[in-house]
């Protein structure tokens, strides 16, 4: 062992869980792409252990092998030893340099200056919308290679009134049974405000008043996944505080319609494992977090919802499991069960529904060729399923699928589970919202 090599203080004990069986290899998208051991779960764990033991220098090759991981956690689902790969990778990346200029810029500018700040996010969303209306992304796309293709096929940011805050309380539209909290999110609110409104409509129809914190944006999931645990902790504290201050019922569930945010928020206690002041608060908070589909699919709520759903025009729909829902939270049956409630549509299974679409946080930006390759395989699987509509539940996945459909000229757009449920509700008896008009924000 060279004394010149500094050992990395990552979560070493987690590396010892791996028994090197290799059962995870074929479920790993990056291993299947490159065939290299260092770009599969077992090889990455081996690298992390060597870094922790001070046997290996964190050179460019090593950093890239770890950075190119999607953190999709597919390996966790198949691992017989219960390796906590996501936690391990977050711990390792926190101690490793970003692998290039773009990654460094994203960590500093995107994560620190943009995502946590609602006003900055809103301003940037408006500015990007303007460039999109002027078709500037399409004009510069040829200069940017694969990254330009992705840029040219981003969904268009909606107009300002669709990017406003939800009202602080949206009351139930059927007999009130409970209150819930909901996070509007950062990207979700700016790009997919309609998804948030659809989520509220479904929760209201289930009998829930929906409370949303008004001055909070980001849960810190992207920060934790991409090597900035300090900022992830700060944003977790802000999120916990925002929900503690919000009012409503003290133990009300916090419903998340973004798989990545939900998986991360349910794991907040890990961020505070060594902080006796914050750990109990993070624990109490995590107990309240629940995914939208898991919440609505609970028997009484689903029964109540079912009575209000009206037929949609016949179509085949395919559910694509977001990685942080199926691998991160173990939720696969609930979204399918909810789709099966909607009259008129037929749900079909898509091969490879639990495999990553290549979005993976900022992976699509950093590794556009590999990301597009993963997406192309998913597009083929969608075509082979003969579905008309793709349903998912994560803003990154929705953006990625949107890009794929747009790039390949498919006349369909991905929808969030809440959107198709809300569309079916809207066909039923019309309900007038009792919510006060939204504030600008
Ligand atoms: S998280 Fe996904 S990409 Fe990373 S090693 Fe595991 S299966 Fe492979
Ligand atoms: S399946 Fe689990 S124990 Fe086996 S090599 Fe992969 S990470 Fe290690």
Model pLDDT, residue 437 = 46
Q: How far is CA 437 from CA 118, 147, 169, 425, 434, in A?
A: 19, 39, 10, 21, 9
Which of 38, 45, 64, 72, when mutated, tests ligand 1's pocket best, judged by the most ligand atoms within 8 Å of its CB? 72
Helices 279-288, 259-266: axis angle to 10 degrees equals 140
Calculate mean pLDDT across residues 354-370: 93
Residue 1 confidence (pLDDT) above 50: no
Q: Which CATH architecture has domain 308-426?
A: 3-Layer(aba) Sandwich (3.40)
343: Cβ–Cβ under 8 A, 6 or more apart, which residues?
309, 310, 311, 312, 424
30 lines ligand 1 (CB under 6 A): yes
Length of the chain: 441
Q: 193, 256, 245, 252: which is closest to 221 by C-alpha?
A: 256
Q: Which helix (H) or strand (E) holds 42?
A: helix 41-52
- Ligand 1 pocket residue status of 422, Cβ below 6 Å: no
Neighbouring CB atoms inside 10 A of 173's CB total 23
282 CA from centroid of ligand 1 (Å) = 27
pLDDT of residue 3: 44
Nearest to 223 by CA among 235, 240, 214, 211: 235
What pLDDT does 441 receive? Answer: 40
Q: Residue 5: pLDDT band by 50, 70, 90 thresholds?
A: low
**What is the whole-number distance in angstroms between the Cα of residue 283 and the centre of ligand 2?**
28
Domain spans in the chain, listed from the N-terminal domain onward = 12-93, 101-152, 160-296, 308-426
Strand ranges for 129-262 from DSSP E: 169-170, 178-182, 208-211, 254-256
Pocket of ligand 2, candidates 26, 40, 83, 88: which has the most ligand atoms within 8 Å of its Cβ, to mutate? 83
- What are 250-277's pLDDT values in tens digits? 889 999 999 999 999 999 999 999 999 9
Is residue 4 very low, low, confident or very high in pLDDT (cuts 50, 70, 90)?
low
Cα radius of gyration rounded to whole Å, the chain? 21
Q: How far apart are CA 98 and CA 60, in angstroms?
A: 10
Partner residues linked to 182 by β-bridges: 255
The CATH architecture assigned to 160-296 reads: 3-Layer(aba) Sandwich (3.40)
Residue 429's pLDDT band, with cuts at 50, 70 and 90, is low
Ligand 2 binding pocket (C-beta < 6 A) is 18-24, 41-42, 45, 75, 79, 81, 83
Residues 196-203: what's their mean pLDDT?
98
Nearest atom (ligand 2) to Cα of 22: 5
Q: Which CATH entry fits the domain spanning 12-93: 3.40.640.10, 1.10.1060.10, 3.40.50.300, 3.40.50.720?
A: 1.10.1060.10
Residue 156 contacts residue 190 (beta carbons within 8 Å): no
pLDDT given for residue 6 in this prediction: 65
CB 153 within 8 A of CB 255: no
Q: What DSSP designation does 264 have? A: H
Model-wide pTM > 0.85: yes
Confidence class of residue 378 from pLDDT cuts 50, 70 and 90? very high
What is the Cα 340 distance to its own chain's centre? 23
What's the rounded mean pLDDT across residues 78-90? 96
Tell me which ligand sits closest to the C-alpha of residue 67: 1
What pLDDT digit, counting tens, does each position of 219-239 carry? 999 999 988 999 999 999 999
Map tokens 């139930």 to a residue: 172
User: In CATH terms, are 160-296 and 308-426 the same topology?
Assistant: yes
Coil, strand or helix at 328: coil
Neighbours of 118 (CB within 10 A): 20
70 close to ligand 1 (CB < 6 Angstrom): yes
Considering every ligand atom shown, identify the ligand nearest to the alpha carbon of residue 27 and give its number. Answer: 1
Question: Which H/E stretch holds residue 124?
Answer: helix 118-133
pLDDT in tens, 26-46: 999 999 999 999 999 999 999
């Amino acid at each position: 062992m060279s004394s010149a090599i500094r050992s990395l203080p990552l979560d070493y004990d987690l590396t010892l869980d791996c028994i090197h069986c290799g059962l995870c290899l074929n479920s790993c998208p990056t291993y299947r792409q490159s065939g290299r051991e260092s770009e599969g779960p077992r090889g990455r764990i081996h690298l992390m252990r060597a870094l922790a033991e001070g046997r290996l220098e964190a050179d460019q090759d090593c950093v890239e092998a770890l950075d190119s991981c999607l953190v999709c956690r597919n390996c966790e689902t198949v691992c017989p030893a219960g390796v906590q790969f996501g936690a391990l990778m977050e711990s390792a990346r926190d101690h490793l340099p970003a692998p290039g200029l773009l990654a460094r810029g994203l960590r500093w500018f995107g994560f620190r200056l943009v995502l946590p700040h609602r006003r900055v996010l809103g301003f940037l969303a408006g500015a990007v919308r303007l460039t999109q209306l002027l078709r500037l992304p399409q004009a510069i796309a040829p200069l940017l290679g694969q990254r330009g293709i992705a840029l040219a096929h981003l969904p268009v940011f909606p107009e300002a009134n669709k990017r406003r805050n939800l009202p602080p309380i949206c009351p139930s539209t059927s007999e009130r049974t409970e209150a819930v909290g909901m996070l509007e999110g950062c990207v979700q609110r700016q790009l997919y405000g309609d998804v948030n409104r659809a989520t509220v409509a479904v929760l209201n129809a289930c009998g829930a008043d929906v409370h949303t914190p008004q001055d909070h944006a980001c849960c810190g999931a992207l920060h934790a996944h991409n090597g900035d645990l300090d900022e992830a902790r700060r944003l977790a504290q802000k999120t916990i505080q925002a929900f503690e201050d919000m009012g409503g019922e003290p133990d009300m569930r916090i419903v998340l319609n973004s798989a990545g945010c939900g998986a991360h928020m349910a794991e907040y206690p890990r961020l505070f494992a060594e902080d006796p002041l914050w750990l109990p608060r993070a624990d109490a908070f995590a107990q309240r977090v629940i995914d939208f589909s898991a919440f609505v699919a609970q028997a009484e709520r689903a029964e109540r919802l079912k009575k209000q759903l009206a037929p949609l025009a016949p179509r085949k729909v395919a559910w694509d499991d977001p990685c942080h829902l199926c691998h991160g939270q173990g939720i696969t049956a609930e979204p399918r069960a909810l789709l099966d409630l909607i009259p008129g549509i037929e749900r079909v299974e898509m091969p490879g529904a639990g495999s990553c679409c290549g979005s993976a946080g900022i992976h699509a930006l950093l590794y556009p060729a590999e990301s597009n390759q993963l997406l192309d395989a998913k597009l083929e699987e969608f075509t082979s399923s003969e579905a008309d509509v793709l349903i998912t539940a994560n803003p990154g996945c929705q953006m990625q699928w949107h890009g794929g459909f747009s790039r390949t000229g498919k006349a369909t757009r991905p929808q969030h589970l809440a959107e198709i449920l809300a569309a079916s509700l809207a066909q039923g008896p019309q309900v007038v919202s009792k919510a006060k008009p939204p504030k600008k924000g």
